[in-house]
Amino acid sequence: MAVNQVLEQGGAQPLQVAVTPSLTLQAGTPVMVGQLAGVTMTSNPPMLQPGTLAPLMLPSTGFVTILLAGVFMLTVTAKSALSPSTGSAVNPGDLLYVDGGTTTTDGSNLTYNFTLDKNSSATMGNAVGAPTGVKFGSAVSVGGAAGPLLASNATGIIAVRLKEAA
C-alpha cells in the first residue's frame, strides 16, 4: 500500500518498472507508464524508516513499483488551463488530466512531475509528439463532503481514483 492510498482495489497487481538508477521518485508519486495511470508504491532510491540509525537513502535498485488501481490523496490544481490560467472548481466525479511533466528517455516510458488538473487539452510530458488530453483519474469525495472539493484556482490534496486501465 502506498503511503497516500486511502482505498485499495482488490485483485489489482502492482507493476514493477525498470528506471534509470539516478531517477529519484518518492513513494506516493503520481506517474504515467505510457497511458497507464499509477502511483509509486516504493521509492527509488529506497527510503528507510525515520528513527533508524541507517542512512536515509539506500543505493538505487533501478526499479520502482507502481500501483495501477485504487484511490490516493494527491495534489490537484483547480484549473482547466495553466497558461493562460483559467480556474475551474473541482467537484466529485470530475475527470483529472496529466498536464506537463517529464518523460524518461531510458525506455521505461515513465512520465512524472506533472500537474493534475481539469485541462483536457494538456500535453503529457516533454517528448516531441507527446499525447494530449490524457486522463489520470477522477476526483472523489471521501467522507461524504458536499460541494466542490477544491475552489476555482486553488491547489490542494484531494482523493483521486485512478482511471481504469484500457
Please give the backbone phi and psi of residue 36, each rounded to the nearest 5 degrees, phi first.
Answer: -90, 125
Overall domain count for the chain: 1
Question: pLDDT tens digit string along 63-120?
Answer: 788 899 999 999 999 999 877 889 999 999 999 999 999 998 888 889 999 999 999 9
Range of the domain at 77: 5-162
**Residue 46's pLDDT band (cuts 50, 70, 90):** low
Question: pLDDT tens digit string along 10-45?
Answer: 666 788 888 877 788 888 999 999 999 999 987 766
Neighbours of 73 (CB within 10 A): 17
Residue 27 contacts residue 43 (beta carbons within 8 Å) = yes
pLDDT of residue 53: 46
